[in-house]
A and B are shown apart, each in its own frame.
Chain A
Amino acid sequence: MVQNLHEGGANHRLTLRVPGWPGFEPGQFVMLSAGACGSVPRTDPLLPRPMAVYRTRQDAQGTLVDVLYKRTGRGTALLAEALPGQQVGLVGPLGRCFELPGSAERALLVAGGTGIASVYELAARLMPRGDLCVLLGAATAQDLMGVEDFAALGVELQIATDDGSRGFLGQVTRLLEAALAGREPGTSRIYSCGPTGMMRRCAEIAVLRDVPCIVSLENHMACGFGVCLGCAAPLSDGSYALVCRDGPPFDASTIAWQGLP
């Protein structure tokens, strides 16, 4: 652990030096064990936490991996209290990556909560080809993550907060509806990551507007590589997909939303 910054509210930014990091693609994640913090092995909490790879950087000694997270429970509280120099258990990068948009498609990235961390690298990779718009939502201005990083990319950026403390007053999906207004079907593609309600609304808008929509699901998982079978997501054909192995990104039209926890 190189750096572990508190960025206001529940937001934290972790920087890890990861020897042998093989590189990653947008949408992939790592399993982080706060339980491995310090020199004494910890068994409580037992399970690692899945977290999106926010971005990576190179310095003279190798690769630095950035992770944005919120302090929401015991695992992330332990992580938040860990100090630079401590070791963190990491397995990854894991999962599949986002399918990139077609050449004629405008990419609309809609993210809320910790889901914002899942789409930063996608925005960075799409920036050179242009034609993308990033829509970020949160309950309040203080809950937003990574806004300055997106702004620094120079992307078209819109923000919505539930209390109006920053940007549009209301849900980020309203910004999506506005962004799609007047556009022909087949000229846009939605990428969505965040609370289930937000992703589900994006999926509904996508159907109404006849636009492809990719959602990046979050779930509890014990392993992250397809073995514990804990992260099952119900599909509309009655089967289950594993978020870790078959996702996290999914075609929104394949998800049985009413069956998600």
Chain B
Amino acid sequence: MSGSNALDTRVDLGGIRLRNPVLTASGTFGYGTEFAPFLDLTRIGGFVAKSLTLEPRIGNPPPRIAEAPSGMLNAISLENVGVDAFIRTKLPAIPAEVVVIASVFETEIERYVEVCKRLDGVDRVAGLELNASCPHVKSGGIEFGQSPTVLAELVRAVRSATRKPLLVKLSPNVTHIAEMARVCEGEGADAIALINSVQALEVDVETCRPLLANGLGGLSGPAIRPIALRMVWQASQAVSIPICGIGGIDNGEDAAKFLLCGATAVQVGTRNYLDPAAALGVVEGLEAWGRRQGAKRLVDLVGTLEMPKS
């Protein structure tokens, strides 16, 4: 917001005020401090911390990751320190100016609610992101985000447990993403985030086994970007709450595509692994795009895709 061609980059993501639309995605940014050597955390919009459960989890046996064309598969099974350790030891290490969104994952609705209650009174947490879509946890069976009725029950229960801004991160492993988006809006979610990784399988033809010890995994990276753009656009046609776009964002132009398709903010994910300063490059690239478009505010460009009428 400086210089002769001032651009207002601020956005409001369902009550979470961000200095710019670029967040980093849960599971790709640790608890934030891991990235402090690589980038100034106050230059990005904020970050979504690794998904938290009621108790610590140790995760899946190896191999946990595998490469795929322009992407990667993972089956980590949400290894994390647990919600209490996050509040006690991880949050205090993050500079006060950094926006922190806590991601919540559990295997039962009652446990989701309990994790959210524990985070509700924590001032440093700007909002909650409900992970309804992890595709590789055996204990959960079908994903919460794959059934409209189960998803509705989950969002309703969590909504009544927290006054913090509530984002619901949607699973892409559904037939009608617009229906899932409407369910979230109807149950009081403040925003939706999409997409989570796409359920996938990769195979070793010599051993005749899956590459991952878990069998199935979640595909992320540039490979899923066009799928994510399609789903963000479809969701944006269905709801009026803000959308946070996720899926294979490597640079400012990728982020711009999500804004055009209706996303108010974005999350950089897998790219953080390969280039720990990537989110900063996305911020700069997005600002440059906003200026090229002659916009006064980035938010004015949201949803301006000229889609042919069908």
Contact = CB atoms under 8 A, between A and B. Distances in A.
Contacts of A47: 65, 67, 72, 273-274
Given A227-B29, A229-B79, A261-B62, A35 B274 contact: yes
A222 B72 contact: yes
Interface centre among A31, A35, A223, A233 (most CB of B within 10 A): A223
Interface string B57-85: 01111111111111110101001000000
Interface in A212-258: 219-223, 225-234, 238-240
A91 interface: yes
B249 to A, nearest CB: 12
Contact of A230 (B29, B34, B76, B275): B76
Interface centre among B35, B61, B64, B70 (most CB of A within 10 A): B64
Given A233-B62, A240-B58, A46 B67 contact: yes
Contacts of A44: 69-70
Contact of A91 (B60, B61, B68, B276): B276
Interface residues of B, number: 34
Nearest to A224: B273
B275 A222 contact: no
Contacts of B272: 223, 227
Contacts of A31: 274
Nearest to A35: B274
A41 interface: yes
Contact of A33 (B68, B72, B274): B274
Given A44-B69, A46-B222, A47-B67, A227 B273 contact: yes
Contacts of B270: 46, 222
A240 B67 CA distance: 21
Contact of A221 (B28, B65, B76, B223): B65
Nearest to B221: A46
A43 B62 contact: no
Interface in A100-140: none
Interface in A41-67: 41, 43-48
Contacts of B250: 41, 43
A239 B57 CA distance: 10
Contacts of A223: 272-274, 276
Contacts of A221: 65
A43 B276 contact: no
B71 A46 contact: yes
A261 B275 CA distance: 27
Given A222-B72, A233-B62, A261 B67 contact: no
Contact of B273 (A219, A222, A260, A261): A222
B34 A228 contact: no
Interface string B116-128: 0000000000000
Contacts of B276: 91, 223, 225
Given A35-B274, A227-B29, A43 B61 contact: no
Nearest to B73: A230
B218 interface: no
A229 B76 contact: yes
Given A43-B70, A46-B72, A229 B273 contact: no
B1 interface: no
B18 to A, nearest CB: 22
A90 B105 CA distance: 33
A78 B69 CA distance: 15
Contacts of B222: 43, 46
Contacts of A234: 61-62
A231 B30 CA distance: 14
Given A43-B70, A44-B69, A222-B72, A229 B274 contact: no
Contacts of B65: 47, 220-222, 228, 230-231
A227 B33 CA distance: 10
Contacts of B142: none
A192 to B, nearest CB: 19
Contacts of B288: none
A226 B274 CA distance: 12
B213 interface: yes
24 contacts: A43-B250, A44-B70, A46-B68, A46-B270, A47-B67, A89-B274, A91-B275, A222-B274, A223-B272, A226-B30, A227-B28, A227-B29, A227-B30, A227-B35, A227-B272, A228-B65, A229-B59, A229-B79, A231-B62, A231-B65, A232-B60, A232-B64, A240-B58, A259-B61
Interface of B: 28-30, 34-35, 58-72, 74, 76, 79, 213, 221-223, 250, 270, 272-276
Interface of A: 31, 33, 35, 41, 43-48, 89, 91, 219-223, 225-234, 238-240, 259-261
